[in-house]
């Protein structure tokens, strides 16, 4: 562990890589000390490049909630931030133990696992794509043929569009299932169950929200429309971002719908990114990434708004 004296206000940043890699530098700019906590080793070259240990007063290896909480309590940590896809469950548990603002640990799975997310929406009447949790390639292909092509095959926990496939035939679904269930993610192993869902027509959007107990309603940071293309094992390479005014009257009901989709997942604290489509059947939420968005979106927001 590398350490420097604590100035008073201290925040713990869990897995500060990818879009969350800059949390340390920004915390320091606000006069706040940041401690990096890693739940695992990140070997992906891009993710490794996004972390600078010089931005952090300490760098810890997370071995257990009890041990990490004890160390952070000694450092008088006042906030815990989930910086990457891998950090959400651990961040909720650690924040709960420290009694600092947090999203409920009991519902962490709904914010980090795409199948659990769909289950939460379905149980609370939030409109989303038809879906199935597939345990085998044949089951995935049979459901897809019955539901209608195209379909989307994706890991239940992923980021950056890795191993996400748009499939038009049974054979493509079976191949995608095998890849999604066996190829490891850049940040962890593959899982044997895979999410298969209806492909939604229409334009795709994202909206970024700030959630806080001090706000009566989540604050909208950014709203944009964009395109996705498939490249190798990524079906969600983003391009062509077109920013949309936050006061667009036709999108206000959609923002209300997105906020309800976040409430259904028990989101209470932090900045997150929600992907949705405006389909022929109406707005349909795709997924909530309960962390900073990728695709350089934070940098874009900062450049546009300061």
What pLDDT is recorded for position 232?
A: 62
4-35 core/surface letters (b: 16 or more CB in 10 A; e: else): eeeeeebbbbbbbbbbbbbbbeebbeeebbbb
Reported as half-sphere exposure (CB side, CA atoms, 13 A), residue 258 has a value of: 29
What pLDDT is recorded for position 2?
A: 41
Residues 6+ apart with CB under 8 A from 267: 103, 111, 211, 288, 290
Q: What is the pLDDT of residues 225-250, one digit of tens each?
A: 877 776 665 555 666 677 888 888 88
- 251: tokens are 């999108």
Q: What is the pLDDT of residues 27-45, one digit of tens each?
A: 999 899 999 999 999 988 8
- 297: tokens are 């979106």
| β-pairing verdict for 33-38 and 58-61 | parallel
CA–CA gap between residue 164 and residue 55 (Å, rounded): 33
CA–CA gap between residue 40 and residue 48 (Å, rounded): 12
- 292: tokens are 């900073």
What pLDDT is recorded for position 260?
A: 98
Name the pLDDT band for 304 (thresholds 50, 70, 90): confident
221-250 core/surface letters (b: 16 or more CB in 10 A; e: else): bbbbbbebeeeeebbbebeeeeeeeeeeee
What pLDDT is recorded for position 300?
A: 74
Q: What is the pLDDT of residues 273-300, one digit of tens each?
A: 999 999 999 999 999 999 988 777 777 7
170-174, 178-182, 246-250: range with lowest mean pLDDT? 246-250
CB atoms inside a 10 Å sphere around CB 251: 21
Helix (H) or strand (E) holding 242: strand 234-243
pLDDT at 6 over 60: no
Q: Are the C-beta atoms of 161 and 239 separated by less than 8 Å?
A: no
- 41: tokens are 């080793």
- 26: tokens are 């920004």
CA–CA gap between residue 278 and residue 293 (Å, rounded): 20
Q: Are the C-beta atoms of 237 and 183 separated by less than 8 Å?
A: no
Of residues 218 and 164, more confidence is placed in 218
Whole-prediction pTM value?
A: 0.89
- 43: tokens are 């070997």
Mean pLDDT (the chain, rounded): 90
pLDDT at 8 over 70: no
Which whole-number Å values give the CA distances from 139 to 33, 132, 144, in the listed order? Answer: 50, 9, 9
Name the pLDDT band for 47 (thresholds 50, 70, 90): confident
CA–CA gap between residue 131 and residue 143 (Å, rounded): 9
CA–CA gap between residue 158 and residue 223 (Å, rounded): 23
CA–CA gap between residue 160 and residue 146 (Å, rounded): 29
Residues 6+ apart with CB under 8 A from 109: 89, 116
CA–CA gap between residue 152 and residue 260 (Å, rounded): 24
Share of the chain above pLDDT 90, in %: 72
What pLDDT is recorded for position 285?
A: 97
Q: What is the pLDDT of residues 244-271, one digit of tens each?
A: 888 888 889 999 999 999 999 999 999 9
């Amino acid at each position: 562990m590398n350490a420097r004296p604590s100035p008073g206000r201290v925040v713990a940043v869990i897995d500060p890589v990818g879009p969350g890699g800059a949390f340390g530098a920004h915390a320091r700019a606000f006069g706040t000390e940041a401690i990096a906590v890693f739940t695992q080793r990140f070997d992906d070259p891009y993710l490794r490049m996004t972390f600078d240990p010089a931005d952090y007063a300490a760098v810890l290896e997370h071995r257990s909630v009890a041990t990490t909480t004890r160390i952070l309590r000694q450092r008088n940590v006042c906030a815990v931030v989930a910086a990457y896809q891998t950090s959400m469950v651990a961040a909720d548990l650690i924040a709960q133990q420290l009694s600092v603002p947090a999203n409920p640990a009991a519902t962490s799975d709904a914010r980090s696992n795409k199948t659990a997310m769909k289950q939460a929406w379905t149980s609370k009447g939030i409109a989303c794509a038809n879906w199935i949790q597939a345990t085998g390639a044949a089951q995935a292909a049979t459901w897809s043929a019955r539901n209608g092509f195209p379909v989307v095959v994706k890991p239940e926990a992923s980021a950056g569009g890795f191993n996400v496939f748009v499939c038009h035939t049974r054979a493509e679904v079976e191949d995608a299932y095998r890849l999604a269930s066996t190829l490891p993610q850049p940040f962890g192993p593959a899982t044997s169950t895979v999410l298969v869902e209806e492909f939604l027509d229409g334009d795709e959007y994202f909206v970024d929200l700030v959630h806080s107990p001090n706000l009566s309603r989540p604050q909208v940071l950014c709203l944009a429309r964009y395109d996705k293309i498939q490249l190798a094992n990524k079906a969600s390479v983003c391009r062509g971002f077109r920013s949309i005014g936050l006061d667009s009257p036709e999108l206000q009901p959609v923002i209300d719908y997105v906020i309800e989709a976040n409430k259904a997942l028990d989101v209470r604290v932090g900045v997150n990114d929600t992907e949705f489509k405006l389909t022929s059947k109406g707005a349909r939420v795709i997924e909530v990434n309960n962390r900073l968005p990728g695709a350089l979106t934070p940098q874009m927001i900062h450049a546009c708004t300061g």
